[in-house]
């Protein structure tokens, strides 16, 4: 069975291609290389000893999408293709709505014309906006606090409406908490462009000597040590979650949403401490003011995925920091 993986050379898409391939599902990778290196393809082969089919293309190119879907008899689409920087989305909202929302509509049009009925969509815990209660379950009200977040809310709505209009179609929205870590081989991982916004890549770059210190954004939150608490999930668990979601719903239709998280929160200082242990060196940090838009605490109720998909995270914080360090120290400049 072949599936199209849009955005498949990116951080989460590439790890999911490995998980799909391991499960006997053949991923056809489709990516415009706007935030990925073509070298990822070689790493995928190195790790899996399989060759992967890659088509360079944009999800806003309907003709190309339809051609690939028909040519490969695509059975489902895994949709990772999006821009994802929160700050940038506030500065360039139209670019985000065009790429993430218009792009998704074009992708759905192409799927409709090619007769592809299933889509697995990369959503985010950002669709819960400011948490009204914790842990966050899938019934928590949906909202957003920035244009990037709104693109996720909008695409989820479009997917729901699309399923209403076509009874045969299936859309699974996977709401990721904080994906971190790397492939345990150290051959594949996350390499953000420029200065990382997210905590784990910033810590990793500090440990490897590319940054002087980590700024800890706020130590006066109502959390055990005063720093922000998040639900970090290992990329290998996350990737497996996609395969389990897809395979568990082979015969189903409609719109379904699942949290993919561990249910366990860690503070900024917990992550820095764990990383220092994995790297065998101190990670310098300085306390800094709160970052605007941040909440104190955010973690998942991951029980629905356990119940319906028989999926649960298996890897802990030390796996996340060890694997990130292995990747970061092997490829300090990324691929």
Q: Which of residues 195-234 bind ligand UD1 (CB under 6 A)?
A: 197-199, 202, 214-217, 228, 230
Binding site for ligand NAD (CB under 6 A): 6-7, 9-13, 31-36, 58-60, 80-84, 99, 103, 122, 124, 176, 179
Among the listed residues 107, 268, 269, 320, the single contact to ligand UD1 using CB under 6 A: 268
Residues in the chain: 335
Out of ligand NAD, ligand UD1, none, what residue 217 binds, judged by CB under 5 to 8 A for its kind, is ligand UD1
Q: Which residue's CB is nearer to ligand NAD, number 88 or number 277?
A: 88
C-alpha 254, offset from chain centre: 22
* Contacts (CB under 6 A) with ligand UD1, residues 111-130: 124, 126
For residue 39, the Cα-to-chain-centroid distance in whole angstroms is 20
Smallest CA-to-CA distance from 31 within 76, 75, 64, 63 is with 64
Token pair recorded at residue 90: 């506030």
Name the residue with the smallest CB distance to ligand NAD.
10
Contact 231, 263 (CB under 8 A): yes
We find the least distance from the C-beta atom of residue 81 to ligand NAD, in angstroms, to be 4
Among residues 60 and 308, whose Cβ is nearest to ligand NAD? 60
Q: SS3 helix, strand, coil % of the chain, rounded to 5? A: 40, 20, 40
Q: Which is nearer to ligand NAD, 80 or 285 (CB)?
A: 80
Using an 8 Å Cβ cutoff, are 259 and 300 in contact?
yes
Helix (H) or strand (E) holding 5: strand 2-6
CB of 81 to ligand UD1, least distance (A): 15
Q: Give the integer Cα–Cα distance in Å for 273 and 235.
A: 20
The structure tokens 């339809």 sit at 66
- The residues that touch ligand UD1, with contacts defined as CB under 6 A, are 84, 86, 124, 126, 149, 178, 197-199, 202, 214-217, 228, 230, 268, 291, 293-294
């Amino acid at each position: 069975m072949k599936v199209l993986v849009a955005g498949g050379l990116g951080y989460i898409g590439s790890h999911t291609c490995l998980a799909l391939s391991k499960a006997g599902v053949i991923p056809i990778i489709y990516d415009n290389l706007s935030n990925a290196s073509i070298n990822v393809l070689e790493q995928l082969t190195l790790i899996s000893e399989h060759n992967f089919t890659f088509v360079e293309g944009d999800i806003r190119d309907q003709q190309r999408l339809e051609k690939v879907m028909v040519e490969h008899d695509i059975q489902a689409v895994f949709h990772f293709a999006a821009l994802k920087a929160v700050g940038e989305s506030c500065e360039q909202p139209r670019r985000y709505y065009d790429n993430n929302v218009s792009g998704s509509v074009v992708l759905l049009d192409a799927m409709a014309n090619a007769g592809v009925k299933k889509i697995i969509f990369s959503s985010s815990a950002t669709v819960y906006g400011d948490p009204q209660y914790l842990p966050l379950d899938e019934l928590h009200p949906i909202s957003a606090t920035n244009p990037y977040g709104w693109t996720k809310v909008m695409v989820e709505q479009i997917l729901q409406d699309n399923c209403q209009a076509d009874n045969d179609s299936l859309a699974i929205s996977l709401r990721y908490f904080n994906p971190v870590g790397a492939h345990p081989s150290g051959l594949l991982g996350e390499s953000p462009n420029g200065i990382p916004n997210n905590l784990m890549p910033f810590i990793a770059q500090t440990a490897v000597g590319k940054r002087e210190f980590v700024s800890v954004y706020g130590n006066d939150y109502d959390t055990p040590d005063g720093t922000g608490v998040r639900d970090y999930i290992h990329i290998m668990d996350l990737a497996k979650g996609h395969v389990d979601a897809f395979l568990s719903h082979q015969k189903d239709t409609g719109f379904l949403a699942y949290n993919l998280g561990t249910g366990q929160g860690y503070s900024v200082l917990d992550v820095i401490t764990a990383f220092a242990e994995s790297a065998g060196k101190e990670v310098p940090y300085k306390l800094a003011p709160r970052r605007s838009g941040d909440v104190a605490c955010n973690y998942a109720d991951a029980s629905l995925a356990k119940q319906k998909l028989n999926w649960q995270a298996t890897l802990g914080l030390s796996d996340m920091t060890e694997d990130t360090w292995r990747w970061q120290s092997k490829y300090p400049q990324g691929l």
